[in-house]
């Protein structure tokens, strides 16, 4: 996974346009588009701001992987674009809908083990 793909996926998961992202980070739309299209990389301070905005680590934003905070467990999973989308969408749901989703997933997982 690459930065521009992660950036586009996270933006879409929040339901924002490229112009809205440019406005949030006080950029010209073309500058933001260059980041999302892979023509340029943002400076470090902007990368940090973007990671904070999306509530992800820099590692997830730039490489799409989970930072290895526990060196005794170097096999932490890689977050795919779909996983990032699902997690971001889940965070936008109201608590009652989150519970329904968890109940449904639990039901489906129990059926797999039968």
What's the pLDDT at 81? 67
Q: List, in order, residues 6 or more apart from 31 with CB less than 8 Å away.
A: 22, 40
> Taking a C-beta distance cutoff of 8 angstroms, is the pair 38, 4 a contact?
yes
Q: pLDDT by residue (tens digit) across 33-78?
A: 999 999 999 999 999 999 988 888 888 888 876 444 444 444 445 5
- The phi and psi torsions of 88 (rounded to 5 degrees) equal -65, -40
- Cα separation of 35 and 12, whole Å? 15
Give the structural domain span for 24: 3-112
Rounded average pLDDT over 5-19: 88
Q: What percent of the chain has pLDDT over 90?
A: 36
How many domains are there within the chain?
1
What's the pLDDT at 88? 77
Q: List, in order, residues 6 or more apart from 59 with CB less than 8 Å away.
A: 65, 66, 67
Q: Which CATH number do you get for residue 41?
A: 1.10.260.40
With a cut of 50, say whether residue 23 has pLDDT above it: yes
């Amino acid at each position: 996974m690459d930065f521009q793909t992660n950036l586009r996926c996270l933006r879409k998961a929040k339901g924002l346009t490229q112009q809205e992202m440019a406005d949030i980070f006080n950029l010209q739309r073309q500058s933001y588009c260059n980041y999302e299209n892979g023509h340029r990389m943002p400076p470090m301070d902007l990368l940090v701001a973007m990671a904070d905005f999306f509530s992800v680590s820099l590692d997830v934003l730039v490489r799409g992987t989970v930072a290895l905070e526990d060196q005794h467990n170097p096999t932490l999973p890689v977050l795919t674009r779909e996983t990032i989308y699902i997690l971001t969408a889940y965070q936008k749901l109201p608590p009652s809908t989150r519970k329904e989703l968890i109940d449904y997933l639990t039901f489906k997982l129990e059926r797999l083990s039968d």
